[in-house]
Structure 1
Amino acid sequence: MRFRYPVIVALALTAITSPTASAAACTWTPTQLPLPAGLTQGSVRAADSLSGYAGEAQASAGTVHAVRWVGGQVVDYGTVPGYSHAFVAGVNRSGTIVGHTSAPTGNRQRAFRSVGTALQVLPEPAGTEHSWANGVNDAGDVVGEVGTTVVVNGSSHLVRKAVLWPAGAPGTVVGLTGLPSAGQTLGQAVDQDGTVLVEHYPTATNSLNATALYLWKAGTARVLPTPAGTTSVYGKAISNGRVAGAVNTGGMVGAVWEQNGTITSPVASNLITSINRTGRTTGWKIVTGITPAHWVWQGSAKVGTIAGSRTLTVSADDGTVAGSSFNSTTFNQPTFWRCS
């Protein structure tokens, strides 16, 4: 997977207010989702806004399949023909799944979308070496990035550029004009109105720390505000005009950019990874070593109490959250939680 836990330094951020927040009075109740026959573990990665989910399931031999859950039943989409791993990044109301896949050997990454219950690679610009699909909206617009290798001072670097696979022009891929031409851009997510969330990395050689977030729509891009002293910024999700991620001003703190441009910091968070249309979020905070503790917030406040070992990756529009739960016998199991 392309997801990584950024290095955590200090946890102070004076430019974002994070008032003490008390948890709402509810308990999150888990429901494990079934796995396809022969697959032993998995996780939810996306929600379709209709109480359905999409994610991955893994065989003991290591092959990773894309799967979808509808009405509590699982559908196995398998992998792209010729590839062994399908990593899911998004799903829409129509059931279109997007993500990226990798080859049995080597490190070739290909963006895919589902057609029916089959996975198909998406078109790439000439010269592309890798591609990733990171999000899809209900209209069917898919966003992500493509990568090509460049040589800088005698060293090879993979340079990524944000792209759109537009629903209105099937079989095509277009670059996002209006963004900075220098450095790298990643198309991280797409809102229902077609607004694309983009991370910008200032140089071809820096692939770890974005320094700006842009909202792009129809060829026009605007930068999101950041607190004074911000050294890096993370954008992970967008929904109903709100953006979820984090900022780093000497320590990484979870952040939500509200519709009016102000920034909210969910209490005790390092990174916000998912947001639904009401602003409910999931994310995590490092508590011991490099182990993250996952939680749910509404605004700055934690929502309810959650028991057990879990990973929360999805805040769904139906009010549930989802990811995986862990037990020592069967490892990660795809799970959703409902607050009651």
Structure 2
Amino acid sequence: MKIMVTPCDGIGPEITAATMEVVEAANKAFDLGLQYDYEDTGFASLEKYGTTLRNETIERARTYDGIILGPQSHMDYPARDKGGVNVSAGFRVKLDLYANVRPARVRPFLNSTAKRMDLVIMREATEGFYPDRNMYAGSGEFMPTPDIALSMRKITAHACERIARAAFELAMKRHKRVTAVHKANNFILTDGLFLTQVRKVAAEFPEVKLNDYIIDAMAAHLVRDASRFDVIVTTNFYADILSDLASELSGSLGLAGSINANAETGLVCAQAQHGSAPDIQNQNIANPTSLILSAAMMLSWLGEKRGLPNFEAAGAEIERVVDDVLAKPATRTRDLG
């Protein structure tokens, strides 16, 4: 099983190094047979090759089973014509890693705003309001005059259908509840299409209860009582916001694991939910939990999709050990208090 490892920017190298110690321990303990290759992305790639993400890196990634991707400092990259490419978007769109799976749960031994929560947000990751992933050529964001800026949104039936299916399949393994989040009262065509596709898929899963919330109401209900929700499915932009909110309600963005996956191609990418935090890099205080849990999710996903119980066991054991470590105040990073 081949894994591409790319630390990327900011605290990325630090938390990637910590994550790889854990992954290698699991590799030995569960006889996973993992092989790792390291690849430069972000500023390291820009310095060497003149771009933050090479096409060669993407093509090489297609030959791997999994990817461990550190956080990026996208806001600090130069313009695209000077080599500044969104690394995360590049992997997601070019490798068609459409399902961004973002769990959030409360741990009783950590301070959290939410009292009870154990949910998963299924985020469609390849289209939506993001201007770097909704056009064949050019950008979905542009300025026709110096004082007017426009942004386009792309929603397709295909993308909505497959993220909905992923959500319902996951719900069947959990508590059989799916919440679709939208703004179809205003975005009648785009969110209307999303909601239509979700309902079509729901008809194939009569055991799963479906309800839907408008995005602004959903944010309020998540704060009020997150325990009501099981699997939440929504479009790219809404899910980006809701998943950060849910993670912070659980105690910290530093606790939020995440994978980007394509069940059809079998490729999965582990990626921390938080950013590159350059203000604390090289201080040995960054919390590696998010990337470690993302790697655990990657192993579990590979185990489930390929029928490898030792991979599923390795992922579960990493999660258990992380909880054991987090339960001890002396071994927590400062963002956890």
Say yes or no: TM over 0.5.
Answer: no
Which protein has the bigger helix share?
Answer: 2
Which protein has the bigger strand share?
Answer: 1
| Greater RCO (Cα-Cα under 8 Å, separation 6 or more) | 2
With the length of structure 1 as denominator, give the TM-score of the two structures. Answer: 0.31
